[in-house]
Amino acid sequence: MVEITMDSRKILLLLNLLARETSENKEELSSLFKRALDADDNICQLKDILDNTCFFKKDQNYSYGEGKAVVEKLYHNPIEAVDLFPSVIRATENIKRDIEYSHNLLASPYPFAERISAVPLCEIQAYRTAYKNIANVSTYLSVLYAGLPSVSSLSWNDDCDFYEMLNAVNAKFLPGLQKLSIPSSWMIKKKRMRGKALFGGDCLFIEYCNKSEFELQCKNLNTEPIGTHAYLNVDAYESDENDVPFCWGTGNILSVSPLKGTFYLHNDVVTKLRSPSKEEIFHKMPTPYECINILADNKMFCISPGELLRAMNRWYVGHEIEKRVRMRQCLFCGNSVNGSRLVCPNHFTSQF
């Protein structure tokens, strides 16, 4: 039921009576009508909600058009104000209904195709921030689990209008995330290479398994993170222990945080690491993340576990070979060799 304050009704009815009974003091009466309208709670509420709501596609928005038209009629012909009060209440309720409907859509974690029509202006920035975060995290997870090709069709602009941002998230980012599958986890270990005619040292190898098995193996280890979804066994790195988990994770190794995921849409990204230089392999192989960062020349990167394995082996084995050459040790067995020899002669005679 429409509620109208008695003060508003009495004042407007009295002004209507005065307006009908006299043709003088038009400007004064007009000012009194305006003051009466401005003081009415229902009219103030409608004007406030019109001024502080973001209406999408205003020219096609029924609730906005209805509310605006009612306000214009009130002030254009205030003598009919009392008759328009039910329309004021109805217009306000329709806008509130649209706001609630839009809020329920925007609060959904799933993409939607329905059109939103009205959002309070005070909430727009919070929604913009939320959708930026969704775009960033969606991109990050896609690159993490499926690599750069999975986001090749995506684009993002932090400065685009809200509706464009909303459509991008609903039409591309969230559907892509829903299709994403989590790959098997990976683990890299060290082992001793075997064979008389082979380099007789340690190397790294990789194996794949489900995440829960790796977590069981690694739950009591001294670890530090490599990015967000991989870990280094600090003790294995420092002690050079073999046949224990060295590092492990799920997906690729990325150089940015989840909330900067859309950087992968706008920048050149390193996916293949260069070989370490002679000066670099003179030093012990750094931790996996440092190794990637150095060999990517401090550029943004997305490195697969297989590429990480190749890079670490090049550095690890290269460092051992450089050390043996410098210390005049056989490359195959590590024993001392004379002169400029690199290997013991008996390796070839016994092998062939």
Residue that the structure tokens 């790294």 belong to: 204
Please check whether residues 273 and 293 belong to one and the same domain: yes
Would 12 be classed as within a structural domain? yes
Please check whether residues 206 and 336 belong to one and the same domain: yes
Would 117 be classed as within a structural domain? no
| pLDDT for residue 18 | 45
At which of 81, 106, 131 does a domain end?
Answer: 106
| Per-residue tokens: 22 | 């006299």
Would 111 be classed as within a structural domain? no
Please check whether residues 27 and 162 belong to one and the same domain: no
Please check whether residues 251 and 331 belong to one and the same domain: yes
Would 88 be classed as within a structural domain? yes
Rounded (10°) angle between helices 305-326 and 288-295: 90
Strand 245-250 vs strand 223-225: parallel, antiparallel, or unpaired? unpaired
| pLDDT for residue 156 | 95
At which of 136, 154, 178 does a domain end?
Answer: 178
| pLDDT for residue 227 | 86
Half-sphere exposure of 19 (CA within 13 A, CB side): 19
Would 269 be classed as within a structural domain? yes
Full-model pTM? 0.81
| Per-residue tokens: 104 | 């329920």
Would 113 be classed as within a structural domain? no
Please check whether residues 321 and 341 belong to one and the same domain: yes
Please check whether residues 340 and 247 belong to one and the same domain: yes
Please, what is the end-to-end C-alpha distance for the chain in angstroms? 103
- Rounded to whole angstroms, the Cα distance separating 160 from 330 reads 63
Dmax over CA atoms of the chain, in Å, equals 128
| pLDDT for residue 342 | 74
| pLDDT for residue 7 | 59
Would 118 be classed as within a structural domain? no
3-state secondary structure 123-191: HHHHHHHHHHHHHHHHHHHHHHHHCHHHHCCCCCCCCCCHHHHHHHHHHHHHHHHHCCCCCCEEEEEEE
Q: Which amino acid is present at 183?
A: P
Please check whether residues 128 and 68 belong to one and the same domain: no
Please check whether residues 19 and 137 belong to one and the same domain: no
- Rounded to whole angstroms, the Cα distance separating 93 from 63 reads 9
- Rounded to whole angstroms, the Cα distance separating 82 from 220 reads 76
| pLDDT for residue 310 | 96
- Rounded to whole angstroms, the Cα distance separating 148 from 224 reads 26
Domain count, the chain: 3
Please check whether residues 174 and 193 belong to one and the same domain: no
Please check whether residues 171 and 191 belong to one and the same domain: no
Please check whether residues 343 and 219 belong to one and the same domain: yes
Residue 38: Cβ within 10 Å count: 11
Give the pLDDT of the chain (352 residues) as one tens digit per residue.
445 444 555 555 444 544 454 555 555 555 666 767 777 788 889 999 999 999 988 777 889 999 999 988 877 777 676 777 889 899 999 999 999 999 999 988 889 989 899 999 999 999 999 999 999 999 999 999 999 999 999 999 999 999 899 999 999 999 999 999 999 999 999 887 765 445 666 789 999 988 888 888 888 889 999 988 999 999 998 887 888 899 999 999 999 999 999 999 988 999 999 999 989 989 989 999 999 999 999 999 999 999 999 999 999 888 877 777 777 778 777 777 777 777 777 766 644 4
Q: Which domain holds residue 319?
A: 185-351
- Rounded to whole angstroms, the Cα distance separating 271 from 147 reads 9
Rounded (10°) angle between helices 41-51 and 62-76: 130
| pLDDT for residue 57 | 82
Please check whether residues 264 and 284 belong to one and the same domain: yes
Task: Select from 28, 8, 23 the least CA-distant residue to 83.
Answer: 8
